[in-house]
Amino acid sequence: MSPAPHFAVIGGDSVQEILRDRHQDVVSVVEQAYLLHDDGATVNPPSYFLRFPDRPTSRIIALPASLGGTTGVDGLKWISSFPGNIGTGLPRASAVLILNDPATGYPYACLESSVISATRTAASAALAATRMHGTGARPRRVTFFGTGLINRYIHTFLRRTGWEFDQVGVFDTAPEYASAFVGYLRDSGDGDHTVVYDSAEAAIREADLVVFATTAGTPHVHDTSWFAHNPTVLHVSLRDLSPEIILASTNIVDDVEHCLKADTSPHLAEQRTGSRDFIAGVLADVLRGRLTPPTDRPLIFSPFGLGVLDLAVGQFVYDEAIARGLATTVPGFFTELDRYAPSA
């Protein structure tokens, strides 16, 4: 008889301890996941949205996925977005990640995943920003649109993977959130270079790197002339830019089929033109040297955020947690393991 499957729980404190100061390692993990995806060694079906007629702004999303390679893992991220939480002091998003054994299908771990989700998003953004600029000069003026958890993580990942800034711009429609973000920047060492903008136009025109991580559901930036200086844009929240801006730019996505749906800005551009010709390629094209982004237009990276990235980072965290004794095992979690045992 096969040994009984085990099950472990890894809480947020342990996840944070494991990921602390491992920024470059995580970027490498995310890069390998993208390359496996490019090789066809993944399964990444569409996300599934649980919506509520009585709570139209809230949703819970299921991201099932399977990651191949030498340490294969199947699993599911279950992540909620409840914007009303912000008014009570709770973060908007919460999440868990389930890891399944590809040989038996048994789940073997449940991890707190809001940190994993933010980490893989930030690592993906830092990877794209770094590799899209290749050996050229990196932007030194950055503006963050939105001042929540994701942009905090993206700033940290950029700084901890070698980026240096002469100016850090902040734009948020809520002044109190912008002020809190400035406090974070001050603690991180970038406080002396910070500019808080009350104009979206100035925030973009005065930045060489613009990072959108907002809760916008429809485009709120429409003027193509704001991008005449050809900045790099990390369009993480996917719905900030008008189709006109998308069509006037070089566009790189992480996965075409995933990104061009659900009324994202690239999806709206496709609806406008009836074509996908405005997509220059996917991030793996840049990673593998198949695409060198031109510098004569704005450069936009729009990542949908693939479930395989959560699995890759989750497996990394799990392996470290087991090795360091930071996982809490649940004895007897699976009990019906004998097909013919007498019923209780």
**Has residue 1 been placed in a domain?**
no
Please indicate, yes or no, whether residues 86 and 137 belong to a single structural domain of this protein: no
Let me know whether 203 and 317 are in one domain.
no
Residue 273 within any structural domain of the chain? yes
CB 270 within 8 A of CB 318: no
In a domain, 99, yes or no: yes
* Amino acid (1-letter code) at residue 249: S
Number of domains in the chain: 2
Give the span between the Cα atoms of 313 and 165, in whole angstroms: 27
The verdict on 112 and 148 lying in the same domain is: no
- CATH code at position 164: 3.40.50.720
The label of the residue with tokens 């994993």 reads: 116
Range of the domain at 154: 123-302
Q: Residues 159, 226: contact at Cβ < 8 Å? A: no
| 89-115 residue pLDDT tens | 888 889 999 999 999 999 999 999 999
Q: Is 179 found in the same domain as 243?
A: yes
Q: Is 95 helix (H, G, I), strand (E, B) or coil?
A: strand
Whether residue 74 is contained in a domain is answered as yes
Statement to judge: residues 73 and 132 lie in one domain: no
Q: What is the pLDDT of residues 51-72, one digit of tens each?
A: 999 999 999 999 999 999 887 9
- Please check whether residues 60 and 192 belong to one and the same domain: no
Residue 337 counted as domain residue: no
SS3 224: helix
Same domain, yes or no, for 63 and 200? no
One domain, residues 281 and 315: no
Residue 261 covered by a domain: yes
Does 298 map to a domain?
yes
DSSP 8-state code for residue 195: E
Dihedral class, residue 145 (left if φ above 0, else alpha if ψ from -120 to 50, else beta): beta
Please tell me whether residues 105 and 181 are part of one structural domain: no
184 and 297 housed in the same domain: yes
pLDDT of the chain along its 344 residues, tens only? 456 689 999 999 999 999 999 999 999 999 999 999 999 999 999 999 999 999 999 999 999 999 998 879 999 999 999 988 988 988 888 999 999 999 999 999 999 999 999 999 999 999 999 999 987 789 999 999 999 999 999 999 999 999 999 999 999 999 999 999 999 999 999 988 899 999 999 999 999 999 999 989 899 999 999 999 999 999 999 999 999 999 999 999 999 999 999 899 999 999 999 999 999 999 999 999 999 999 999 999 999 989 999 999 999 999 999 999 999 999 889 887 777 777 66
Give the CATH number for residue 312. 3.30.1780.10
Q: Are residues 48 and 140 in the same domain?
A: no
Q: How far apart are CA 76 and CA 4, in angstroms?
A: 22
Together in a domain, 142 and 284: yes
Q: Is 263 left (phi over 0), alpha (psi -120 to 50) or beta?
A: left
Q: Is residue 341 part of a domain?
A: no
